[in-house]
A and B are shown apart, each in its own frame.
Chain A
């Protein structure tokens, strides 16, 4: 075998059969993980700080707001959003909001199922359609974008 490790000597992997040893990482790895978790936690907190108020479903095609409906309508709502490759049918009922039909090939948006919490989103990337559940308060990211 002529292919040898290209790593430097201080990165030589230790020879041990204990599986926990492999999951431990170096202290640098653990610091990186800690920093990442702190950054994610802070951004999560910041993003969700104003997610209150009456939940409303906003349907967008690209930058254009197509429609806004309350999340819990008295009768189910079926909205057909025209996107870049065809129609996406969005249904809002007692279970929440879901994309019931889409013209895209992968159908990942349809398979995403129902969303019912403020802050949740559904997206059909090929059709450029986004369904977002937002509270009536101004969101943290909206304040930044303004």
Chain B
């Protein structure tokens, strides 16, 4: 008498599992930074440092566009769940700005030759800020006078975008050195 045959479930490869675990680790790190930025004292009503975007840049450089995009969206949803802003105006503004900034980061990384993570981060920060204003103006405030606040905040976005890009470049370089 032979033992009953059980269906064989194909085992995923170690490389595939490690890639998923690595992505999940980055997602948790990005969500943690997103929540940390939400609870830390604000630099202004419209302005954040964008620390969580450093993790998106690392994912873009090390895992590719698909992983970076899913990570950016995932951390906004998880962050909103923990902060308690799910489906509020803050969530709508944050998600829309993240989608548009991630799109521009992926496009620039793919199509602009010799651009580094610093340039990608700079473009992402600028588009993120502009998107926030467009969403607020179109959906909530509906007053064009809102845009008078935009230029000084774009200057700050340039600074934070550049610094975040430099940090992401440094971290990815260190990770590359250690993985050799």
Residues of chain A having any CB pair with chain B under 8 Å: 1-7, 10-15, 22-23, 25-29, 32-33, 36-37, 40-41, 43-44, 47-48, 58, 60, 62-63, 106, 108-109, 111-112, 119-121, 123, 125-126, 128, 130, 132, 134, 139, 141-142, 144-145
Q: Which of A3, A43, A141 contacts B63 (CB 8 A)?
A: A3
Chain B contacts for A145, CB-based, 8 A:
144
Count of A-B residue pairs with CB < 8 Å: 156
A25 touches B143 (CB 8 A): no
Q: Which of A13, A60, A109, A125 contacts B176 (CB 8 A)?
A: A13
Chain A contacts for B152, CB-based, 8 A:
44
Residues of chain B having any CB pair with chain A under 8 Å: 14-15, 18-19, 22, 42, 44-45, 60-64, 88-90, 93, 112-116, 118-119, 122-123, 126, 136, 140-152, 154-155, 158, 162-163, 165-167, 169-170, 172-173, 175-179
27 contacts between A and B (CB under 8 A): A2-B19, A3-B18, A3-B19, A6-B64, A11-B116, A13-B176, A25-B119, A25-B162, A26-B115, A27-B114, A29-B116, A33-B119, A33-B122, A33-B158, A36-B122, A40-B151, A47-B147, A60-B143, A106-B90, A111-B42, A112-B44, A120-B148, A123-B146, A130-B145, A139-B145, A142-B144, A144-B144
Chain A: which residue is nearest B26 at the CB level?
A: A3
Chain B: which residue is nearest A104 at the CB level?
A: B89
B93 touches A125 (CB 8 A): yes
